[in-house]
Amino acid sequence: MRFRCFAKINLSLEITGKRSDGFHDLVSLVHTVSLADELCIEPAETLLTHVEGLDIQEEDNLVARAAGLLATTLGGSRGARLSLVKRIPAAAGLGGGSSDAASALVGLNALWGARLSVATLCELGAALGSDVPFFVRGGAALMRGRGTELDDLPPRRGQWLVLLVPPGTIADKTRRLYAALEPTDFSNGEMTLHAADRLRNAEALDERALVNGFERAARRMFPGLEEMWQAAERLAHRRFSLSGAGPALFSLTASRAEAGDLAGRLARLEARLFVVRTVAHARARIAALGGHHRVRLSAT
């Protein structure tokens, strides 16, 4: 089995307050996009994982952790070889590791004939990370609480956008961004709920509602992000928004041609640029046929 594991963007993300357990509550509108890692799952006697395109420690490898968690849950002797090719920039706010973990759970559930339900896979995914349950299905969703409470929404098909990923990141990014939040960064979630309603009603997204509660902290903590953000908006003559806890930025466009033109104007920046579109599922199944590739979208 070979999967394309799609990234996500947080079209809007509001942090509504700090919980008694030390975590934060949020309301976020999330959507999968066509930038993807590739995960191949094959039968094997033992569990083996290989990652290409990212130097990662075993304890930080969410694919290995997902495989180990599912094997432990099912019991008995379980084996598989999982080979991952990374294309989604790591620690950028695009959910690549979580998407890979969800694909590993779904793929191994099929390979091992476990027949676990989507709800059970989501529960297992929540133990790996707050974004993993979303990636079991993908598409569009309104995310609440710690991020594991999901309301499915009708996906927006073919919305083109440009992703801009500045170089570098910071260690222990998510924890440090949450720790840097101030009361002025919190809001009541109304802007995100407004954006979700527009998506639900198949209306054009109002960019004024695409907010992110991490914006102030991200501009301050990521070296060079403020300057990169200003330069991108100056060259593009349009607004860019933060995805997740950053530092990835995105801007919506009206067409693929407009997205390509925008990426061309931003090419002078020292950043990774991607022209992508929204997709309605978490992953695509790839089958090799006579040297060509057939892609089938998978809703699971």
Instruction: Extract the tokens encoding 31.
Output: 């959507």
- Dist. CA 76–CA 250, nearest whole Å: 45
State how far Cα 52 lies from the chain centre. Answer: 19
Of 118, 149, 39, nearest to 83 (Cα)? 39
122, 129 contact by CB (below 8 A): no
Of 268, 250, 271, 272, nearest to 259 (Cα)? 250
- Which residues are the active-site residues? 8, 131
One DSSP character per residue, 173-187 reads: HHHHHHHT--GGGB-
CA 289 to each of CA 33, 51, 274, 293, 295: distance values in angstroms, whole numbers, following the listed order: 25, 24, 28, 6, 10
Pairing of strands 80-85, 47-52: parallel
Cβ-based neighbours of 171, under 8 Å, separated by 6 or more: none
